[in-house]
Copies of this chain bind each other. A is one copy, B any other.
Amino acid sequence: MKKSNITDLAKHLNLAPSTISRALAGHKDISEITKTRVKEAADFFNYVPNLHARYFRKKNSNLIALILPDVNNFFIPELIRGINDVFNKTDYSIITFFSKDNFLIEKEIINYCISWMVEGVLLSVSDETKDLKHLDILVQSNIPVVLLDKVFPSSDHSLVHIDDSKTAFNATNFLISKGCKNILGIFGKPDVQMVQDRMAGFKNALYQSNLEFSNEQNILTNPNLENFEYKLTSLLESKQYDGCFIMSDELAFLAYPILVDKALFPNKIHLITISDGQVIGALRPKIPYIYHSGFNIGTRSAEVLLEHLENKEMKASDEVLETVLVR
């Protein structure tokens, strides 16, 4: 079945293509009667606009690019839900890309965004990303970018994130307030900015309470799935920890069963994690956590991007969302 286009409708109704276009767009100086006729014909002939033609001509795209390192089962789904909640109320569609935490892929995706004429970019940078130079091309093309969650200081791009250092600091102090003296911190890849920030907050809390600290004894970093159990088990057997700060949901879900199986949690060791709270709340016994909402990060970053789209002159903002202890 051949698809009908504006020209077809124009011929059927003895009108000019431009009139059809304007009628369908609800342009105000087309008579109501014509609008009705055109819309009925469009319905009858199953007319659907060709968006490539439209956006090609109009030099826009109604597309927002969402660039994420990957999908997980915790924070990212909530983030996606928040972003969609905001953009579903608009005409924008979302085109999603995954960098697989690979900087070169991230860079390619950025170019792809230009090719798609996306109107805005929501970016959570890859673990490998060390600066934001690869975003210059977006700035030059006047495409607003909002960095979310994993961010770098920037005067060119708006940021929506939490205070990672402070959040980790508060989490660690929760353990200290419980009387913990030997606290283990479990972190991700140590060369990632966010990990360094959270680690700094963790160390700072220990330092301020005059607690002993050594990298070997108090920090477990960059555990990959294969040797995580081994490394954590070794550490737990080497020393009697009474507290454990876990940087994220992923790591918490790796550590939790080990700590329970070794009968350490909940009786011998206090836990705390930074979590988006979606699934961790079902664990029994409960793990206290600092609530870091993917949904809120998502909605706020989407809203900030919308503001940039509505006002191209708006300058970059830096929004730091609050986190709160849940126990």
* A contact set with B: CB distance below 8 Å: 1, 3, 46, 48-53, 55-56, 61, 70-74, 76-78, 80-81, 84, 88, 93-98, 100, 111-112, 114-117, 137, 140-141, 253-254, 256-257, 260-261, 278-279, 281-284
Contact = CB atoms under 8 A, between A and B. Distances in A.
B93 A98 contact: no
19 contacts: A1-B141, A46-B137, A48-B111, A52-B56, A52-B116, A71-B80, A71-B81, A72-B77, A73-B77, A84-B98, A93-B95, A93-B116, A96-B96, A253-B279, A254-B282, A256-B284, A257-B281, A261-B284, A283-B283
Contacts of A137: 46
B115 A51 contact: yes
A175 B3 CA distance: 55
B98 A96 contact: no
Nearest to A111: B48
Contacts of A49: 115
B115 A50 contact: yes
Nearest to A75: B73
A61 B50 CA distance: 11
A25 to B, nearest CB: 14
B56 A116 contact: no
B140 A1 contact: yes
Nearest to A94: B96
- In the assembly, how many copies of this chain are there? 2
A116 to B, nearest CB: 5
A112 B279 CA distance: 34
Contacts of A254: 282
Contacts of A140: 1
Pick from A73, A93, A96, A256 the residue with the most CB of B within 10 Å: A73
A256 B283 CA distance: 8
A46 B50 CA distance: 28
| In the complex, the 9 A-B pairs of residues with the closest C-beta atoms, listed nearest first | A52-B56, A260-B284, A253-B282, A71-B77, A1-B140, A51-B115, A48-B114, A48-B115, A52-B52
B52 A61 contact: yes
Given A1-B141, A50-B56, A254-B282, 17 more contacts: A3-B114, A48-B114, A49-B115, A50-B115, A52-B56, A71-B77, A72-B77, A73-B278, A88-B98, A93-B97, A94-B95, A95-B96, A253-B282, A257-B281, A257-B283, A257-B284, A260-B284
B279 A73 contact: yes
